[in-house]
A and B are shown apart, each in its own frame.
Chain A
Amino acid sequence: MSLTVAPEAGTSPPEIEPQAAPASVAPARGRTGRVTSALRALAGALAVTITVLLLASVITFALGALSDSNPAAAVLGETATPEDIARMNHEFGLDRPLVVQYVAWVGDAVQGDLGRSWFTTIPVADSIKQALPVDLSIAALALVLAILIGGGSGIAAALSNGGAVDRLVTLVCSVLATLPPFVIGMALIVIFSVKLQLLPAGGYVPIEQDPAQWLRFSILPSLALSLDVAASIARQLRTSMVTALTENYAIGAEMRGYGRSRVLFGHVLRNAAAPTLAVIGLAIPLIVGGAVITERLFGLPGVAQLALQSAERGDVPVVLGTLLVTAVVVVIASAVVNVLQRALDPTTRRQGGPR
């Protein structure tokens, strides 16, 4: 369920917008010019990242501020007296001006303190620290699977360009794009757990406890999570490879007598990889968001379970904490993908900045 508008059209991630980082489009002059322009591009990207993180924290905090729930009402329910409300609001610092609360909240968050749960008074950061590895390991495995499956089928489709394999890949991709990922997950449960009884339909074993068991429990959730993204990768890779194969450098390399596989993997794939990485970058929020559904589907004890339970009983600090941590995870992952993309794409590197 890709939300990117027409991934084939090379939808640009935020950083590729020409206006995103004015410093980065400065023309590079000579070697020193290239270095400074690369540094300026880095500074611009950093400014964008920090702004995005700040805005995400503002949005998160605003949700809490707009909420009319308070700790006393949440914990004591109907029996809360005005005195109780005032006392507990004071206890959690909710009687201070909003700006003061925001600054304190962000300041603590930077140091890894996300406040305490209204109900259990367990530090939010501790609960998240316990649940996050589940999602991260599932999401990471899903990303690897997506790249393997999507990359493989994309290359196969590009090679058969117009042939049976190409049409099959395109068909499967279009079908996957019209289904919510949890339906695919349910199909996987039916096939591998109910019918073949090969893999468990739910449950979880931490990776540090028993890697083999972890894989057994994680492979279905990760596969369910990956197919959607694999489809986007396959489509993008196919499109850019088919384009790249007709470019002069590819034809030239073939004419000079390089073998087909050398042209393909040495030249074409390298150039086609950059837009594909952009697609992967855009898919990271989808993977993280999809992990929530996957948790429900396979009964995994992850962040979403925590967030859902807390949302149900109105435990605002936990809910806000999970949203903020999720945003940070996505931003970091996207930044890594961006750096990789920059390193891989010869055109962005030569200009010392985005096209």
Chain B
Amino acid sequence: MTIIRNLWRVPSARFALVVLAVIAFLTLVGGALAPHDPLRQYTDHVLEGPSAAHWLGTDYVGRDVLSRLMAGTRLSVIGAFEAVLIGGVLGVPSGLASAWLGPRLEWMTLRISDTLVILPFTVFAIAVAGTLGNGLQQAMFAIGVLISPIFFRVTRAAALGLRRQQYVEAAELMGATEWWTLRRHIWSKVLPNVAVTSAQATGAALLVVASLSFLGLGVSPPAPTWGGMLASDLDYLAQQPWAPVFPGLLMMATVGSLNLLADAVREAAGDPSRRRSPRRVTVRPEQKEAARA
């Protein structure tokens, strides 16, 4: 809570937190609050502009755009979260292991990370859909695997810098087990970096999820998603050139807020990715946040 209170003092972070709270709210209850059934087709109101009944107009089969946006938030956001979670679970432990468990493993993990970095998201996701089946789980797995090098590198860089610190060496000399050192000294320093990365990665994952649903991967068509809505808007640009604006703005606000938040957290923590010598060694992370703000 201290972290949130500190972030609240920064205007840009406050804006970001408000936007993200709205998105979180929509994710949880957006479908239930939607004024219309997002799948109901008002066939005599096809491709209409904003009106009292349909605030943001209707799409090509007469579905309410506002309701689809509200209901579509859930799949889009949860998908991104799932991908980031998979990426973190794969990337963070392997990043720590790579900094800790000797040069041979290090070389191998680096090469695997290099390989995953060169695989483009969309092509890989298509290949996964073609071999393992086209579903939300498969798509999120594909994105998660390709996101993991980001976590791997950030964790590795932070852990490598710490490994050479005297107090870490001292702990090892005094007979601390590797596991204890990792938990006591490393984890608390790596965590802020992982938090910043998670925020950025969630933003990036949202865009990738949208791209995949735009291609028809992951979510089957009638279910609303931001990317899927844009895909159906594409075919009616001549009739409704403004239609992509609404999902586009929603996505922009979400991703922009995540980026703003990541910047604010990074600044609050004094750019942990750059700092090599932590000043307060025994202070717990939440106290550290408080002390710096």
Contact = CB atoms under 8 A, between A and B. Distances in A.
Contacts of B120: 285-286, 288-290, 292, 326, 330
The secondary structure that dominates the B interface is helix
B283 to A, nearest CB: 25
Nearest to B256: A178
Interface residues of B, number: 60
Contacts of A66: 131-132
Contact of A6 (B230, B252, B273): B273
Contacts of A186: 230, 233-234, 237, 244
A189 interface: yes
B117 A63 contact: no
A50 B65 CA distance: 49
A194 B113 CA distance: 43
Interface in B31-72: none
A203 B154 CA distance: 42
A288 B247 CA distance: 25
Interface in B237-251: 237-238, 241, 244, 247-248, 251
B106 interface: yes
A225 interface: no
A122 interface: no
Contacts of A19: 103, 106-107, 110
A63 B123 contact: no
Find the residue from A174, A284, A323 having the highest chain B CB count within 10 A. A323
B134 interface: yes
Interface in B213-270: 214-216, 227, 230-231, 233-234, 237-238, 241, 244, 247-248, 251-252, 255-256, 259
Contact of A48 (B111, B122, B123, B126): B111
A180 B256 contact: no
A14 B241 contact: no
A201 B106 contact: no
Contacts of A282: 117
B136 to A, nearest CB: 15
A64 interface: yes
Interface stretch (A95-103, A107-115, A309-317): A309-317
Interface residues of A, number: 69
B27 interface: no
B237 A182 contact: no
Contacts of A179: 207, 248, 251-252, 255
B73 interface: no
B121 to A, nearest CB: 5
A55 B121 contact: no
Nearest to A58: B115
B123 A322 contact: yes
A308 B215 contact: yes
A307 interface: yes
A320 B238 CA distance: 37
Interface string A11-41: 0001001011000000000000000000000
Given A6-B273, A20-B110, A195-B241, A307 B234 contact: no
Contacts of A311: 126-127, 129-130, 134
Interface string A173-186: 01101111111001
B23 to A, nearest CB: 13
A319 B238 contact: no
Nearest to B200: A5
Given A14-B113, A67-B132, A289 B118 contact: no
Interface in B144-203: 147, 150, 153-154, 197, 200-201, 203
A88 interface: no
Nearest to A63: B131
A310 B227 CA distance: 22
Contact of B132 (A20, A63, A189, A331): A63
8 smallest A-B Cβ distances: which pairs?
A: A289-B120, A311-B130, A319-B130, A67-B131, A292-B122, A55-B115, A178-B255, A1-B207
24 contacts: A19-B106, A56-B118, A59-B119, A63-B128, A179-B252, A183-B248, A190-B244, A194-B237, A285-B117, A285-B119, A289-B121, A290-B122, A293-B214, A296-B215, A296-B231, A308-B215, A310-B130, A311-B126, A319-B126, A319-B131, A322-B123, A322-B127, A326-B119, A327-B119
